[in-house]
A and B are shown apart, each in its own frame.
Chain A
Amino acid sequence: GEDVEQSLFLSVREGDSSVINCTYTDSSSTYLYWYKQEPGAGLQLLTYIFSNMDMKQDQRLTVLLNKKDKHLSLRIADTQTGDSAIYFCAETFSYNTDKLIFGTGTRLQVFP
């Protein structure tokens, strides 16, 4: 199946690191994405990783991919209140590049 799961909530203190986790079931994924959705807004692509990579770093964002365990994570360093949003992981597949399969979304709440 093409299930993608995330924990629903994460609460962190401003300045700490946040780690948002995602697990998926289909090992045929090609690209894995992290999207951010702020209240009342559409989705914004944060970063993505090709499935043959283990890690990708982009400023405060670090993506880790463990293909063996089918586990993807997004680490946000020095989390700010402006990072409060819902974060979705998503994947596309080698056998069907037509659509993105999204996770359930993780609501990140950053408090002072």
Chain B
Amino acid sequence: DGGITQSPKYLFRKEGQNVTLSCEQNLNHDAMYWYRQDPGQGLRLIYYSQIVNDFQKGDIAEGYSVSREKKESFPLTVTSAQKNPTAFYLCASSSNRVDTEAFFGQGTRLTVV
């Protein structure tokens, strides 16, 4: 079955450590996205990639980094520079056509202690 997979579901890290969240899709989608969700706020775009080896900053890219070496993979690294990393992170993918939906992963809840 086609889909988008995030792992792990829950992640705990100590303050000051970098951590990488995984996102894999087998839908042959060109575009992939990372969003962050905080209580009482809408989803905010961190980074997105329309094609392999290319990515763009979203609205809140500071303290995050990404790579897109393969079409099916778009890992997100939360660096120690991110001031408030504890949040729920959602990965999504879509074809680049405007009339198609985005498919979302199940999310990773990151807690930094």
Contacts and interface: CB of A to CB of B under 8 A. Distances in A.
Bound pair (A, B): yes
B96 A97 contact: yes
Interface residues of B, number: 28
Given A31-B99, A42-B107, A98 B40 contact: no
A43 B104 contact: yes
Interface of A is mostly: strand
Interface string B24-66: 0000000101010000111111001010000010100000000
A44 B99 CA distance: 16
Interface residues of A, number: 27
B113 interface: no
B40 A8 contact: yes
B101 interface: yes
Contact of A99 (B40, B45, B104, B105): B45
